[in-house]
Structure 1
């Protein structure tokens, strides 16, 4: 056993991976040094490393894939040594010398063989935990968060689940059904520790407050199973069987059949859907670019309007100050004029009583009147200057107002252009979504056709199995007959061998007898020939000789 161990949490997006990994962290499993920040859709944390996500996206991109791709993924073999070195460096930088670490990223499901092998080469014993929940709740949650269609979410669930299960068969692993974790995390933690080799997990009372049923963002309703297709139902059933260690080989065989069919479907429809995903992503990027540009232009316009308003306020304040100051000066001059007038009146009254001094006073009054007229002249000049300054200010204010009006017009034109672009983008998005919907319909039709063909195949397979069973029974009868026939044949062969041996013996005896008979025949033939010769001789010798010969032979003459 290796000194260091790495727990890989291999689960589909929105399937409870964050809750499970968070529990493991509170039980003493070391987490990465650089974790993602919390988000509204995951307020208690993702427990994912930003570096792991970045490297996972890089690996996927090297094979022409992305996180929401449902096609099977195989990394470029030429780049495998490079990625293994990067994974080893990442494990060192994120976890240091920790003996028990936890790694979680749903993307790892599709590239698990690479990560598990690289971790093993880096000195870690790979351990696997596969969390799962009802697929309908997972699909709903992902649909709400990422805006993907339910059909696409189903394909992603199948791909991530099937790949994670297949890649982890040769490693210590545990399955975790999320409702079980939320209801009784102590029992689940003990089962994980036991199945992964008695892990040194320490208890933590904070887990009770950390895990709550609100973490399961979408819960399936009672009729959720009715919305699932046969593949999804079979995969969920097989996972539950593996979780309970029931019919492991049979359940793995069921998953293998569905994975092969999913791969075949991806070869038929995956490229077309990937092209649609690329077009949608490009359009979404263009929309984000336009939105950013619109925000920048709007900020510039607002900044210009604020600057113009500040300038107007400054000019207005300056104008108010100028008018206020000029009014005070005029008021003082008027008061001085009133004082001078009062002096003139007093002088006039004095002139009535002092005729002698009239000329002198008159002269003084003329001087004072000249001073007053000079003061009024200066005041008039001041008013003229103030009026000029006010005209300049009004002209400047007019320019500012004109600039502000032009800025408002540019802003209005920009908003109209943005609305037009947004409308065009929405129309294009509608066309793409319509095309995506049509593609989904075609894919659904293809899947339905494939399902019907599969049902027909299953029926044919059942009939074939029944025929094979009947043939097997007939074969058993035929084998029995063959055994009986072979036994009878063996007995006959043995009897034939015995008879053949007897025949050979008889043949040998008959051959001896035949030789004796042949010898006797040859002797008789010689005797006959001799007798014939004697007969001929006796006949030629006369009747008496013949009669003597006949009597000797026992014959009548």
Structure 2
């Protein structure tokens, strides 16, 4: 017994080296992933550098790594934009060179960091590949999922890139279903875009508690940074649930997915429930049977 106590004591003092925490910021695009990625840096999360350039579509920054974006664009082109990708796609021999490139970028940028985060909407369809990369680099994945009313997502894509509404809705549905099906419920959080805009401080606090991150001692400075960065002008597209429900051009499955996601983002018990898991599994099976080219 004494030997066992000694081993436990030594473990606390000289315990196994803590794995680097890697926060995969996930969302369809135009749903607040840039905003939330930057705010993570306010609580000490390393978000790297070498980002794609800011432009009029996102004047405060995308916070997407140039090389990662370029590699994942090449993967999408190789897969002929037939998403979601089929089971085991990441083991395709043609994918291996891209995997090695992503591993190298990750190693160069974040090796030795205690906690880091990265974003690119293409992380959603590439999530299987990223999980393998992090495992091989001995990094511990966590998942920060952003959702938004699909009408507002589609209108934002239209406004920024002149994308067709139907395409944007398909993309929102596909990416949202995939990330919710493939992420570990014990290592994820989810926020609605408008809720994060309204309560960034509390949302960051939830992230820190769930992922066991350090919290800044100077909370007033943190609040000032949030107030300065989160732009009230971002609220200009804000469709009500009633408007979504009454829009006859949006498929019922898209509406239903957003309803349950919004509920889950506000109710942790429901988010972790078998009921929610069953709903997502149904959406995922439907998605895989039909396929989407976006």
Quickly name the TM-score band, shorter chain normalised.
Answer: 0.7 to 0.9
Q: Which residue of 2 aligns with 1:501?
A: none
Give the alignment partner of residue 286 of structure 2, picking from 234, 253, 261. Answer: 261
Q: Which residue of 1 aligns with 2:237?
A: 218
Q: Is the 8 A contact 2:244 2:255 kept in 1?
A: no
Give the alignment partner of residue 49 of structure 1, picking from 45, 53, 65. Answer: 65
TM-score normalised by L of structure 1: 0.45
Q: Specify whether residues 217 and 30 from structure 1 end up closer, same or farther in structure 2 by C-alpha distance, changes over 3 A only.
A: farther
Q: Residues of 2 paired with 1:110 and 1:176: CA distance?
A: 19
DSSP 3-state at the match of 2:118: strand
Q: Is the 8 A contact 1:34 1:94 kept in 2?
A: no
2:260 maps to 1:238: yes
Q: Specify whether residues 217 and 27 from structure 1 end up closer, same or farther in structure 2 by C-alpha distance, changes over 3 A only.
A: farther
Give the alignment partner of residue 186 of structure 1, picking from 182, 201, 205. Answer: 201
Q: Specify whether residues 91 and 217 from structure 1 end up closer, same or farther in structure 2 by C-alpha distance, changes over 3 A only.
A: farther
Q: Which residue of 2 aligns with 1:462?
A: none
Q: Which residue of 2 aligns with 1:99?
A: 114
DSSP 3-state at the match of 1:102: strand
Per-residue CA distance 1:381-408 (angstroms, 9 max, x = gap): xxxxxxxxxxxxxxxxxxxxxxxxxxxx
Question: What is the 5 A alignment of 1:48-197?
Answer: 48-65=64-81, 70-72=83-85, 74-169=89-184, 172-196=187-211
Q: Residues of 1 paired with 2:203 and 2:54: CA distance?
A: 25
Per-residue CA distance 1:115-168 (angstroms, 9 max, x = gap): 122112112111100011111101110122222221111111110100111111
Per-residue CA distance 1:450-491 (angstroms, 9 max, x = gap): xxxxxxxxxxxxxxxxxxxxxxxxxxxxxxxxxxxxxxxxxx
* Superposition deviation, residue 216 in structure 1: 4.1
TM-score normalised by L of structure 2: 0.83
Q: Is the 8 A contact 2:177 2:280 kept in 1?
A: yes
**Aligned residue pairs, count:** 265
Q: Residues of 2 paired with 1:30 and 1:216: CA distance?
A: 27
Q: Is the 8 A contact 1:162 1:255 kept in 2?
A: yes
Q: Residues of 1 paired with 2:234 and 2:260: CA distance?
A: 25
* Superposition deviation, residue 170 in structure 1: 5.7
Q: Which residue of 1 aligns with 2:213?
A: 199
Q: Which residue of 2 aligns with 1:22?
A: 38
Q: Specify whether residues 2 and 60 from structure 1 end up closer, same or farther in structure 2 by C-alpha distance, changes over 3 A only.
A: farther
Larger RCO (alpha carbons 8 Å, 6+ apart): 2
* Superposition deviation, residue 237 in structure 1: 2.1
Q: Is the 8 A contact 2:84 2:125 kept in 1?
A: no
Per-residue CA distance 1:211-255 (angstroms, 9 max, x = gap): 123124522145233114320122112213432134421112112
Q: Which residue of 2 aligns with 1:251?
A: 276
Q: Is the 8 A contact 2:75 2:95 kept in 1?
A: no
Question: What is the 5 A alignment of 1:473-484?
Answer: none
Q: Which moved more, 1:186-195 or 1:235-244?
A: 235-244
* Superposition deviation, residue 29 in structure 1: 1.1
Q: Residues of 2 paired with 1:76 and 1:62: CA distance?
A: 14
Q: Which residue of 2 aligns with 1:342?
A: none
Q: Residues of 2 paired with 1:78 and 1:70: CA distance?
A: 18
DSSP 3-state at the match of 2:140: strand
Q: Is the 8 A contact 1:130 1:173 kept in 2?
A: yes
Q: Residues of 1 paired with 2:290 and 2:95: CA distance?
A: 27
DSSP 3-state at the match of 1:130: strand
* Superposition deviation, residue 60 in structure 1: 2.0
Higher strand share: 2
Q: Is the 8 A contact 1:12 1:132 kept in 2?
A: yes
Q: Residues of 2 paired with 1:161 and 1:93: CA distance?
A: 30
Q: Residues of 2 paired with 1:95 and 1:217: CA distance?
A: 36
Question: Alignment RMSD, CA only?
Answer: 2.1
Q: Residues of 1 paired with 2:144 and 2:279: CA distance?
A: 20
Instruction: Give unmatched runs, 5+ long, in structure 1.
Output: 278-557
* Superposition deviation, residue 181 in structure 1: 1.3
* Superposition deviation, residue 185 in structure 1: 1.3
Q: Which residue of 2 aligns with 1:503?
A: none
Q: Is the 8 A contact 1:9 1:129 kept in 2?
A: yes
Q: Residues of 2 paired with 1:75 and 1:120: CA distance?
A: 14
Q: Residues of 2 paired with 1:127 and 1:201: CA distance?
A: 17
Q: Specify whether residues 55 and 2 from structure 1 end up closer, same or farther in structure 2 by C-alpha distance, changes over 3 A only.
A: farther
Q: Residues of 1 paired with 2:142 and 2:269: CA distance?
A: 21
